[in-house]
Amino acid sequence: MRKGKCDVAVAGATGAVGREMINMLSANNFPVNELRLLASSRSAGQKLKFKESEIVVEELSPEWIKKNRVDIVLMSAGGAVSLEYAPLFSEKKIYVIDNSSAWRMNPAVPLVVPEINPHDLAVDKYIIANPNCSTIQMVHALAPVHRISKIKRIIVVTFQAVSGAGWKAVKELESQSKKIADGDFRELNLPKNKISVFPHQIAFNCIPQIDVFLENFFTKEEMKMVQETKKILSSEIEVSATCVRVPVFRGHSEAVNVELSDDITKDEIWEALLKEKNISLIDDVSKLRYPMAIDAAGKSATFVGRIRHDESRPKCWWFWIVSDNLLKGAALNAVQIAEELIKII
Ligand SMILES: NC(=O)c1ccc[n+]([C@@H]2O[C@H](COP(=O)([O-])OP(=O)(O)OC[C@H]3O[C@@H](n4cnc5c(N)ncnc54)[C@H](OP(=O)(O)O)[C@@H]3O)[C@@H](O)[C@H]2O)c1
Please give the distance, rounded to the nearest whole angstrom, from the Cα atom of residue 223 to the centre of ligand 1.
Answer: 21
pLDDT at 282 over 80: yes
pLDDT at 344 over 70: yes
Share of the chain above pLDDT 90, in %: 93
Please give the distance, rounded to the nearest whole angstrom, from the Cα atom of residue 268 to the centre of ligand 1.
Answer: 40
Question: Tell me, what's the pLDDT at 123?
Answer: 98
Task: Give the 3-state secondary structure of residue 344.
Answer: helix
Which protein residue's CA is at the shortest distance from atom 7 of ligand 1? Answer: 99
Pocket of ligand 1 from Cβ distances under 6 Å:
12-18, 39-40, 42-43, 60, 76-79, 81, 99-100, 133, 163-164, 166-167, 325-326, 329-330
pLDDT tier for residue 186 given thresholds of 50, 70 and 90? low
All residues at 6 or more sequence positions from 67 whose CB lies less than 8 Å from its CB, including other chains: none
pLDDT at 195 over 80: no
Long-range contacts of 340-343 (CB under 8 A, 24+ apart): 340/112, 340/114, 340/118, 340/121, 341/72, 341/95, 341/97, 341/121, 341/128, 342/1, 342/4, 342/6, 342/31, 342/72
Pocket test for ligand 1, best of 76, 103, 198 (most atoms within 8 A of CB): 76
Quick check: 252 and 329 in contact, CB under 8 A? Answer: yes
**What pTM does this model have?**
0.97
Rounded distance between C-alpha atoms, residue 79 and residue 6, angstroms: 25
For Cα atoms 314, 320, 326, give the angle at the middle one, nearest 5 degrees: 145
Tens digit of pLDDT for each residue in 24-36? 999 999 999 999 9
Helix H or strand E segment including 166: none
Please give the distance, rounded to the nearest whole angstrom, from the Cα atom of residue 252 to the centre of ligand 1.
Answer: 18
Ligand 1: nearest atom to the Cα of 59: 33
Please give the distance, rounded to the nearest whole angstrom, from the Cα atom of residue 76 to the centre of ligand 1.
Answer: 5
Rounded distance between C-alpha atoms, residue 332 and residue 118, angstroms: 15
Which protein residue's CA is at the shortest distance from atom 2 of ligand 1? Answer: 164
Which protein residue's CA is at the shortest distance from atom 47 of ligand 1? Answer: 100
Ligand 1: nearest atom to the Cα of 19: 16
Q: Mean pLDDT across the stretch 194-213? A: 92
pLDDT tier for residue 184 given thresholds of 50, 70 and 90? low
- Residues with active-site annotation: 133, 252
Rounded distance between C-alpha atoms, residue 137 and residue 328, angstroms: 7
Tens digit of pLDDT for each residue in 100-117? 999 999 999 999 999 999
Ligand 1: nearest atom to the Cα of 167: 19
Which protein residue's CA is at the shortest distance from atom 43 of ligand 1? Answer: 12
Question: Tell me, what's the pLDDT at 30?
Answer: 98
Quick check: 37 and 65 in contact, CB under 8 A? Answer: no
Please give the distance, rounded to the nearest whole angstrom, from the Cα atom of residue 91 to the centre of ligand 1.
Answer: 23
Beta strands in the chain (DSSP E): 6-11, 32-39, 47-50, 53-59, 72-75, 95-98, 127-129, 151-160, 238-245, 252-260, 279-281, 302-309, 316-323
Which protein residue's CA is at the shortest distance from atom 1 of ligand 1? Answer: 164
Ligand 1: nearest atom to the Cα of 13: 43
Pocket test for ligand 1, best of 10, 17, 252 (most atoms within 8 A of CB): 17
Quick check: 305 and 289 in contact, CB under 8 A? Answer: yes
Quick check: 69 and 9 in contact, CB under 8 A? Answer: no
For Cα atoms 165, 166, 169, give the angle at the middle one, nearest 5 degrees: 70
All residues at 6 or more sequence positions from 39 whose CB lies less than 8 Å from its CB, including other chains: 11, 12, 13, 14, 15, 18, 46, 57, 58, 59, 60, 77
Average pLDDT, the chain: 96
Ligand 1: nearest atom to the Cα of 41: 40
Tens digit of pLDDT for each residue in 206-241? 999 999 999 999 999 999 999 999 999 999 999 999
Ligand 1: nearest atom to the Cα of 78: 45
Which protein residue's CA is at the shortest distance from atom 26 of ligand 1? Answer: 77
Q: Mean pLDDT across the stretch 277-291? A: 98
Q: Which domains does the chain have, with CATH numbers?
A: 6-130+330-344 (3.40.50.720), 135-325 (3.30.360.10)
pLDDT at 199 over 70: yes
Please give the distance, rounded to the nearest whole angstrom, from the Cα atom of residue 20 to the centre of ligand 1.
Answer: 12
- CA distance readout (Å), 261 to 146, 228, 255, 256, 315: 9, 21, 20, 16, 7
Tens digit of pLDDT for each residue in 291-312? 999 999 999 999 999 999 999 9
Tens digit of pLDDT for each residue in 59-109? 999 999 999 999 999 999 999 999 999 999 999 999 999 999 999 999 999
pLDDT at 162 over 80: yes
Question: Tell me, what's the pLDDT at 183?
Answer: 82
Strands 95-98 and 127-129: parallel
CA-derived radius of gyration, the chain: 20
One-character DSSP codes across 220-289: HHHHHHHHHHHHHT-TT-EEEEEEEE-S-SS-EEEEEEEEESS---HHHHHHHHHHSTTEEE--BGGGTB
Which protein residue's CA is at the shortest distance from atom 31 of ligand 1? Answer: 40
Give me the phi and psi of 267, to 5 degrees please: -60, -40
Least Cα distance to 204 among 220, 190, 221 occurs for 190
